[in-house]
């Protein structure tokens, strides 16, 4: 059916890289199996994108993105060319439907297309459609829940075209939010009692967007997106020091900034970020039956700022930790533990995509 939210490849037959094209960088992760349910980080790479090469999840400058993907792949030093990629959640319409259990594949496809026709606001010919059987429907024994995902073909084709132009092959196209949740499962295992019966707020702060996803026992109970991100700090640096945005981004990442940067720009930004997290949590509390969370897990590029967990914890009064899906993985000789630890929170999507290699065929 075109675009893949379930694994349509034999994971044992071929290696697979997780390729995340965010609004600020290209990230690649390669994992291998290490015993049952264990993984090893073989290699990873992060390459910064030029400003506005990717805007609002759209690939605005194909040539620039292709060049950066090529550079990242070369730095990775792998022979693997198969990649799993992801679309931003905003580019994908998802809907859960209930169908009778035991339908044949062909009948299920017909039912999915019929349903999709009703809720997709454009012609079915213009979309890539896929579905995944989630399991028995709650409270109805002889029916199953099916997740349908649909995206305009051009959004999928743009991602696939980037991979092809960079000499790679997109074998899986996922959704960023699902890839993040796959990586989040590894983090949940690190929590007390494996996170069981605990309310966990995953806060992903990228360059321009902050996503809050609240999970309990593997089920999403709340999702919210608000406009806030690390791009604001880059803009502040650019204005304050009279730099181009590209130079400001590079200086921010390397920490190569004049004395006074922390007090004048970084600390106020961190306080601002903590305030946005607190605000997002308040929205969650007022629109659900919950009035607290057990853990706040910080992910995304902004989570790499040293000490951000302490600032968020002080503001929200909830236990706050930095996402590290690689915490229980072995590392190959090519991966420096200290570097990976610093980058881990920004590699959630790439890690979740790399995990697709191990999906049952």
Domains delineated in the chain = 1-88+154-189+324-361 (3.30.420.40), 91-153 (3.30.1490.300), 191-323 (3.30.420.40)
Residue 336, pLDDT above cutoff 50? yes
- 6: pLDDT confidence band, cut at 50, 70 and 90? very low
Distance CA 114, CA 108 (A): 10
Pick the range with the lowest mean pLDDT from 23-32, 133-142, 225-234.
133-142
Cα-based distances in Å from 52 to 23, 59, 167, 189, 351 = 7, 9, 23, 37, 24
Distance CA 339, CA 113 (A): 46
Q: Distance between the two ends of the chain, CA-based, in angstroms?
A: 16
pLDDT of residue 10: 40
pLDDT of residue 2: 44
Residue 14, pLDDT above cutoff 80? no
pLDDT of residue 194: 93
- 361: pLDDT confidence band, cut at 50, 70 and 90? low
* Residue 137 DSSP one-character state: P
Highest mean pLDDT among 127-131, 140-144, 336-340 belongs to 336-340
Residues sharing a CB contact under 8 Å with residue 44, sequence separation 6 or more, in sequence order: 27, 28, 29, 30, 76, 335, 340, 343, 347, 350
Distance CA 308, CA 35 (A): 34
pLDDT of residue 285: 97
Average pLDDT over all residues of the chain: 90
pLDDT of residue 95: 84
Distance CA 139, CA 278 (A): 35
DSSP per-residue letters across 325-357: TTTTSEE-TTS-HHHHHHHGGGGHHHHHHHGGG
pLDDT of residue 1: 41
Percent of the chain clearing pLDDT 90 (strictly above) = 66
Q: What is the pTM of this model?
A: 0.88
For 74-128, write each residue's pLDDT tens digit. Answer: 999 999 999 999 998 888 888 888 888 888 889 888 888 888 888 788 788 888 8
254 or 32, which is more confident: 32
- 298: pLDDT confidence band, cut at 50, 70 and 90? very high
72 or 152, which is more confident: 72
Residue 228, pLDDT above cutoff 90? yes
Helix (H, G, I), strand (E, B) or coil at 230: coil
Query: How distant is the alpha carbon of residue 324 from its chain centre?
Result: 13
For 261-295, write each residue's pLDDT tens digit. Answer: 999 999 999 999 999 999 999 999 999 999 999 99
């Amino acid at each position: 059916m075109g675009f893949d939210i379930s694994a349509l490849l034999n994971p044992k037959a071929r290696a697979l890289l997780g390729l995340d094209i965010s609004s600020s960088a290209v990230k690649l992760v390669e994992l291998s199996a290490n015993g049952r349910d264990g993984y090893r980080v073989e290699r990873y790479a992060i390459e910064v994108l030029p400003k506005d090469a990717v805007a609002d999840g759209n690939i605005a400058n194909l040539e620039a993105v292709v060049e950066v993907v090529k550079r990242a792949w070369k730095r990775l030093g792998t022979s693997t060319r198969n990649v799993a990629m992801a679309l931003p959640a905003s580019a994908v319409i998802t809907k859960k439907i209930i169908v009778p259990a035991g339908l044949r594949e062909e009948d299920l496809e017909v039912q999915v297309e019929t349903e999709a026709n009703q809720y997709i606001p454009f012609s079915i010919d213009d979309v890539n459609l896929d579905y995944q059987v989630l399991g028995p429907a709650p409270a109805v024994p002889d029916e199953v829940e099916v997740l349908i995902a649909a995206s305009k073909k051009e959004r999928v084709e743009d991602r696939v075209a980037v991979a092809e132009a960079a000499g790679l092959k997109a074998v899986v196209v996922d959704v960023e939010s699902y890839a993040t949740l796959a990586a989040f499962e590894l983090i949940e295992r690190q929590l007390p009692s494996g996170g069981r019966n605990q309310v966990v707020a995953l806060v992903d702060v990228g360059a321009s967007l902050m996503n809050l996803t609240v999970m309990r026992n593997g089920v999403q109970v709340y999702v919210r997106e608000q406009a806030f991100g690390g791009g604001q700090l880059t803009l502040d640096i650019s204005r304050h020091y009279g730099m181009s945005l590209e130079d400001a981004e590079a200086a921010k990442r390397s920490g190569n900034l004049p004395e006074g940067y922390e007090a004048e720009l970084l600390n106020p930004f961190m306080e601002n970020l903590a305030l946005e997290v607190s605000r997002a949590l308040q929205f969650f509390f007022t629109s659900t039956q919950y009035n607290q969370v057990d853990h706040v897990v910080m992910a995304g590029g902004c989570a790499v700022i040293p000490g951000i967990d302490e600032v968020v914890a002080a503001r929200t009064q909830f236990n706050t930790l930095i996402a590290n899906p690689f915490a229980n993985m072995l590392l190959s000789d090519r991966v420096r533990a200290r570097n990976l630890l610093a980058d881990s929170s920004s590699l959630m999507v790439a890690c979740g995509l790399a995990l697709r290699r191990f999906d049952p065929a």
